[in-house]
Amino acid sequence: MPRARPHSPHRPEPLALVRQVVAGNPAAWQRFVESHLGFLHALAWRYARGDQDLAEELCLVALEGLRRPDAEGRGCYRLRRFLESREQLGTRSRFTTWLALVAKNLFRDWFREREGRRHLPREIEGLAPLGQEVFRALFWQGLTEAEAWGQLHTHRPGLGPAEFEAAVAAVYGALRARDLWTIYQDLLRRLPAVSLDAPLGGPDGPHLQLADPDPVHRPDARLLRAEEHAEAERLRSLLAEGLASLPAATRQVVQLLVFRGLDGDQVRRVMGFRTRQRVYDEMARARRRLRTWLGRRGLGAEALEAALADLGACAEPREGPGSRSGGGGRLDGNVGRDGSGGPGSESEGGDA
Amino acid sequence: MTCLSAEELAALFDGRLPQARAAQGRSHLAGCPRCAGEIQRLSEALQDAARQDALRPSAELLAQAVALGHPGVRPVAAEVPARPVPADTRAAPNERK
Ligand SMILES: [Zn+2]
């Protein structure tokens, strides 16, 4: 029986095994399953939200996805593509990184297919099919707007960003009276959702993940109050402008570290920096510049401090599920600390 | 530039994409919500998975998963989207049936 393991950068690349699986060797498949089922299960767990049966189902969904043949009937086309890309394009990721990415997409597709059978709210039924799909993605699957774009874009090759934006606007327009205030409350509480490339934020925290029960019908949904909406909107656009004024590399560090929630080491690798210190230096620079930028534009000291504290808090390593938007940490105080990649999470007793 | 493939995204994430392509990838990432979202989800998935060390898949799940690899047991169709595997695949043919 395989042990579930944390993602470890030090495990050897199981490429030989992948090649044997692609070649159709059943014994290799068994060893492949034994090596990776624990990891898949750990990945599936968050999507299953503690539902053990669902987590197991998702594991099988992912494994079937890995075995699925291409249009010409050649087996395991995803694994085959992984190997080919590695050889031809030099995409030398760890196998488990790739596996996590692919599994997550297979989970997402499975949820999407399942949710497609649910009944749409009346406001949304009146929208064009694209709008309905956008609604499903944002509110049933709990995807970020960016994720929704990715998903729809993949399945509708002709879809342009403008058309997508219009559909998103139509969805928010249809929901305005009932739910927008709740969405903006989320956005204000969690400034990371304010980003250049995902203008409307949205319910994208780990706890509003895929299987979230229809948030449109949450009991606390209230009417949007116009002046608070306007204030949120003003803060959002000021921040967006301030971010746009940063040097490209600095802005990208902010995007990855704060808005995308990568940890310092992950940001270092994506950016191609040699040291993690560089990541934090860029972040400190962003804070300085934003403070000046927002201050000059008359953003109240209180809101400004809240914004900056959130920026700092989110740059701190996340300790556990849900701690993302917790207390006001100081970015400058945690240089050199990093919680990911290592075998740091010992027995926490599975919180089933 | 077109969006990054899953292979490219994973390699960029690990810092294992050839340099020129990595630079292109980063500038693409800055302007593409789809790819940036992919990186974000990947990071979240890995960070969460790393916290789930105490969980173990059941022996039953392992058996079902291994059975996917036996030819003829459960052919996986190319066109049909992935479905949950119902309990009936638990008993592979030629065993307990
Ligand atoms: Zn892209």
Whether this prediction's pTM lies above 0.80 is answered by no
Residue B70 lies in a domain: yes
Q: Which residues of B touch A71 (CB under 8 A)?
A: 78
Q: Which residues are CB-contacts of A8 (< 8 A; sequence separation ≥ 6)?
A: A341, A343
In chain A, alpha helices (H): 15-22, 26-48, 52-67, 77-89, 95-115, 122-125, 129-135, 145-155, 161-189, 226-244, 248-254, 264-271, 276-296, 301-315
Residue B46 lies in a domain: yes
Residue B83 lies in a domain: no
Residue B94 lies in a domain: no
Residue A140 predicted with pLDDT over 80:
no
Q: What pLDDT, on the 0 to 100 scale, is given for residue A132?
A: 86
Q: What pLDDT, on the 0 to 100 scale, is given for residue A177?
A: 41
Q: What pLDDT, on the 0 to 100 scale, is given for residue A199?
A: 30
Tokens of A344: 């740091």
Q: What is the mean pLDDT of residues B36-43?
A: 92
- Residue B33 Cα, ligand 1 centroid: separation in angstroms? 7
- How many separate domains does chain B show? 1
Q: Is B65's CB within 8 Å of A60's CB?
A: yes
The ipTM is: 0.76
A321 close to B (CB below 8 A):
yes
Split at pLDDT 50, 70, 90, the class of A2 is very low
User: What residue spans define the domains of chain A?
Assistant: 15-115, 192-338
Q: Which residues of B touch A94 (CB under 8 A)?
A: 10, 14, 16
Residue B91 lies in a domain: no
Q: What pLDDT, on the 0 to 100 scale, is given for residue B93?
A: 37
Q: Which domain holds residue B72?
A: 1-78
Residue pLDDT, tens place only, A32-55: 999 999 999 999 988 887 788 889
Residue tagged 């970015």 (tokens): A331
Residue B43 lies in a domain: yes
Q: Which residues of A touch B61 (CB under 8 A)?
A: 37, 41, 56, 59-60
Shortest alpha-carbon distance between residue A108 and chain B (Å): 11
Domain A15-115 in CATH 1.10.3470:
no
User: Which residue does chain A place closest to B54, by CA atoms?
Assistant: A350
What are the CA-CA distances from residue A55 to residues A42, A77, A246, B43, B59 (Å)? Answer: 9, 24, 42, 19, 14
- Residue B30 Cα, ligand 1 centroid: separation in angstroms? 9
Separation of alpha carbons A20 and A4, rounded Å: 23
Of these ranges, A50-54, B9-13, B79-83, the one predicted with the greatest mean pLDDT is: B9-13
Tokens of A91: 């995409």
Tokens of A12: 């050897």
Residue pLDDT, tens place only, A152-201: 888 787 888 889 988 888 887 776 544 444 443 343 333 333 333 333 33
Residue B51 lies in a domain: yes
Q: Is A104's CB within 8 Å of B49's CB?
A: no
Residue tagged 């969460």 (tokens): B48
Residue in A46, A153, A270 closest to B39 by CB: A270
Residue pLDDT, tens place only, A80-112: 999 999 999 999 999 999 999 999 999 988 887
Of A289, A276, A343, nearest in space to A315 by CA: A276
Dmax (CA) of chain B:
57
